[in-house]
Structure 1
């Protein structure tokens, strides 16, 4: 580890993310720049680099936590952050592939306080732009000397992400979703890509299979805890902070983890919640407020908080088993805290 890197011991999350952005952005822009025509324009708009008319822009582009995890995972196994640039770019491209598709599937018209790509350019072009980003990610990984293991690791993460998204959609049509099924869905939909970011970074850093597996385990558990916290915010988050309407997940009758924990609790509150959730009429604001109260009284909120804390502890155990240098361990733990202890 370089002397310059040693001086960054104990960095706050904001500093880690600025450092990561500086490493990521030139290579990410170069990768997207390989696209041409409409696909490039849509992708650059989605990333916040262009406005709707194609002019230069500097719009919010997200925290890019996954690339930061890839950089740190490379350092955790004794490599350099710069070694993991292809991994970080691939993970960020895959994440944004999923966002472009999610916005179409969910019908969302706003992301990061801007119109979504599909709402401006059309659903089909936005889906194809997402596909193009995924192809760029694979192309970049395959070009590297560690291409085989990296592409296999990346493919597993993306496959599980897609399987998780498919399960999430299927749950909307079912009244019998179990808590185990719901947790498995979230582990794939969110945990797989965060775990994949850590595994890819470790591969590019030259880590042994055992250390790669430990760092993947760290990321997967952090990712699942992140999803649980996101589900809590979808019910009880402050709309002024989250940017989502109050009780938004309940109004949409989403089968999130706290809801499924409540629905499967066997309590009288669970029965009342099921009646609300499975009726044909939309949930009005008073109904959604009642549903939130029922989820809490049936134990869904308490279960989610306890499970997120359990997963954070498991993640740190996996991280310690990977035996990173103390400063890198501190940075990874700080990003885990950022993802699992938040209000938006």
Structure 2
């Protein structure tokens, strides 16, 4: 159902790319002053990580990311009948938390590149990148606290719980790398915490700051949770088969790190000959050549890991859209949430 007599089909929707451009246009004027409040060394590293300047501080036009989570927050506020501007503090906060996680993830994964240039730890060192991530995380809570919104306290509590979920998911991800066997169900729980939790939070807090009802906020949270997990599946597929020109990372980067991503675990637990051969590859510790990485990717596909991931992402998307339909939202932002969810979970690999 919707909040007006209009149907989603009767309103004109902006393409997903245009919606993301709109989200970035609302985010950047608020994100810049927030980052300016960081101590100088942390501000310098964070601005580099966000693509605003180079390692020496000279202005740059590097990739700053899609601002997907902030855009979801802004659309959610509109979808419950509020103004997008009311959710700008939420948009800034979730973008800061997301980038905190990226700064730390790059250190933990040893990734050399992000968004087509050296990662922050490569440019400034491990310790400085970790400290920058810590500083960015603290800033996220400060932004919500300073918003003056009637639901700021509830927003801080929700964001805090979300960060704990994210950290628990990341901890499980690290633990899995040292285990010979990982069950698919626990890998899904890990991904739900590591990725789904923050996307769910972005949608729920956008609805909350837009003055949505408790029922609407819960449906938006569930929508974000399902779409977030589907997004992680799509991201895991990109981590194996994605074009480096799109991902900003080397081809087969996840396989080179022997990451137990969802397609990999689906293959390892498939009970197939290809899955067993893949397990032998993952038990080794020698660097894998390009040909060996290509063969590992073929084993995942032959064991059904790629097909399972795509089908599961589609099922999760359908579940998320069902929650969106049940929330009683304004047609235009609801339709754009649907389109954005589809673009997030059906990226080219």
CA gap of 1:240–1:65, structure 2 versus 1, over 3 A, is: closer
Number of residues of Structure 1 aligned to a counterpart in Structure 2 = 340
* Match of residue 316 from structure 2: 311
Match of residue 87 from structure 1: 90
2:286 — aligned with what?
281
Aligned to 1:9: 12
Which one scores higher on RCO, CA 8 angstroms, separation ≥ 6?
2
State how far apart, in whole Å, the 2-side matches of 1:11 and 1:272 are. Answer: 46
**228 and 137 in structure 1: CA distance in 2 versus 1, 3 angstrom threshold:** same
1:33–1:40 Cα contact (<8 Å) kept: yes
Distance 2:47 2:98 in 1: 15
**Residues 86-235 of structure 1 correspond to what in structure 2 (within 5 A)?**
86-143=89-146, 144=148, 145-235=150-240
Deviates more, 1:300-309 or 1:263-272: 263-272
Q: 2 CA distance for matches of 1:277 and 1:216?
A: 36
Say if 2:115 and 2:247, in contact at 8 Å, map to a contact too. no
1:30 is matched with which residue: 14, 28, 33?
A: 33
2: distance between equivalents of 1:243 and 1:36? Answer: 28
| Aligned: 1:334 with 2:345 | no
Q: Which residue does 2:74 correspond to in 1?
A: 71
Deviation at 1:10, TM superposition (A): 1.0
Cα deviations across residues 147-194 of structure 1 (Å, max 9, x unaligned)? 221011111211111111111111000011000010111111111111
SS in 2 for 1:175: coil
Q: How has the CA–CA distance of structure 1 residues 128 and 10 changed in structure 2, closer, same or farther, with 3 Å as cutoff?
A: same
Deviations 1:57-111 (A, max 9, x none): 2322011010000000111111110000110000011111111111111222221
Aligned partner of 1:42 in structure 2 is 45
Deviates more, 1:119-128 or 1:62-71: 119-128
Offset of 1:281 from its aligned partner? Answer: 2.8
In structure 2, list runs of 5 or more residues that go unmatched: none
- 1:262 is matched with which residue? 267
Over the aligned positions, Cα root-mean-square deviation in angstroms equals 1.8
Q: Could you tell me whether the CA contact under 8 Å between 1:150 and 1:200 is conserved in 2?
A: yes
- 1:256 is displaced (CA, Å) by 0.8
| CA apart distance, 1:115 | 2.0
Give the Cα separation in 2 of the matches to 1:280 and 1:129. Answer: 31
Q: Distance between the aligned counterparts of 1:296 and 1:115, measured in 2?
A: 30
1:333 positional shift: 0.8
The structural deviation recorded for 1:134 is 1.1
TM-score (norm 1): 0.94
Conserved? CA contact 1:66–1:91, under 8 Å: yes
Rounded to whole Å, the distance in 2 between the matches of 1:47 and 1:74 is: 25
Deviations 1:227-280 (A, max 9, x none): 111111222223444343333322221111111111111222222221121123
Q: CA separation in 2, counterparts of 1:111 and 1:298?
A: 30
Greater CA deviation, 216-225 or 41-50?
A: 41-50
Looking at structure 1, the residues matched to 204 and 105 of structure 2 have their Cα atoms a distance apart, in angstroms, of: 24
Give the Cα–Cα distance (whole angstroms) in 2 for the partners of residues 320 and 31 of structure 1: 35
